[in-house]
Structure 1
Amino acid sequence: MRPSLYEHAGGEAAFLALAAAHHRRCLDDPELNHPFSHPGQHPQHVARLAAYWAEVLGGPPTYSTTMSDHSSVLLMHAHNGGGMHDLGRRFVDCFVAAMDDVGMPDDPEFRAAMRAYMEWAVSDVLIYAPVDSAVPSNAPMPRWTWAGLSAD
């Protein structure tokens, strides 16, 4: 049986490193740094981000059982208006570069699956960018596999 993307990436330590590298890259980006440096950010942002990505990509349900749920993630990023598309592309670019920074596996199928996940995740968040959008209160936690979004 094929390992999950989480296992293939290297597990919890790999996702902690990825989240930290991604966060650094976003802070260094002249357009992304504002949303990543505001004072209201959770003090455990990097660890929470790592747990969220890990769970979505096949790891343990740490985020949803001890931290929050997918609806709260959507709500956290909602209602910021339009014009976010370049930020989304920049966010994905930082994610891809952060995988290099931390030495994640460089096989093309893994990298394509990880990039596809992040592109989907950015699109999922942008659905709720309009100020008047309604974020569902019970959005299921997404599950991303080598083949994409799982129906499970």
Structure 2
Amino acid sequence: MSRTSIFEGAGGEPALLALAAAHHRRCLLDPVLNHPFSRGTRPDHVRRLAAYWAEVFGGPARASAEVPHSAMLALHAGNGMESDMGERFLACFLAAIDDAGLPDDPELRRALRAYMEWAIDDVLSYSPPGSEVPAGLPVPRWSWNGLEER
């Protein structure tokens, strides 16, 4: 099958919205991951997350106009996240792929997993207290071959 982006391979905006909603639900059910949400979330959190992932995976560039990548990282910076938080987040994401009904395509699932492993490492690199995120970081672009040049 020929495809130009992970965004298209996943099923476009509806699929990524379903993925974001499923992932959010799973995070809220996790006793560790739900803690960051204990102060509440924006009512449009799921839509914004879906737009972010859409842009990362080659879809429309809407998220970066709304929330720059540096701002998203800054929301998570300096929180001293627990050591297993990344593993839990990844497990929720992988299960959410099935919950959302994304295609059972090994190449797609490999690319989604590789992105999320990289993204978790990126976020956790700013987790230690006192971490500062550089301004102006672009939204990462993830292709079938991994991270594209930033």
Query: So what's the TM-score if we normalise by structure 1?
Result: 0.93
Aligned-residue RMSD, C-alpha: 1.2
Name 2:50's counterpart in structure 1: 50
Gaps of 5+ in 1: none
CA distance in 2, matches of 1:104, 1:62: 22
Partners in 2 of 1:144 and 1:55 — Cα distance? Answer: 9
Which position in structure 1 is the counterpart of 2:127?
129
TM-score normalized by structure 2? 0.94
Answering whether residue 39 of structure 2 is matched by residue 38 of structure 1, we say yes
How much does 1:12 deviate? 0.6
**TM-superposition CA deviations, 1:27-65 (whole Å, max 9, x none):** 1111111113422x2221000000001100111001012
List, as ranges, runs of 4+ consecutive aligned residues in structure 1 with deviation greater than 6 Å.
Answer: none
Match of 1:108 among 106, 109, 116: 106
Q: Deviations over 1:81-102 (max 9, x none)?
A: 25x3311111011111000011
Q: 1:145 aligns with which of 135, 143, 146?
A: 143
% identity of equivalent residues: 61
The answer on whether the counterparts of 1:27 and 1:37 sit within 8 Å (CA) in structure 2 is no
Could you tell me which residue of structure 2 aligns to residue 16 of structure 1? Answer: 17
- The amino acid across from 2:142 in the alignment is W
Letter in structure 2 aligned against 1:73? M
* Pairing of 1:25-104 with structure 2 (within 5 A): 25-39=26-40, 41-65=41-65, 67-82=66-81, 84-104=82-102
SS at match of 1:85: coil
Distance 1:37 1:81 in 2: 16
* Equivalent-residue separation in structure 1 for 2:19 and 2:108 (angstroms): 15
Contact 1:21 1:98 in 2 (8 A): yes
Instruction: Give the C-alpha shift of residue 124 in structure 1.
Output: 0.3
Task: Give the gaps of 5 or more residues in structure 2.
Answer: none
- Residue-pair matches, total: 149
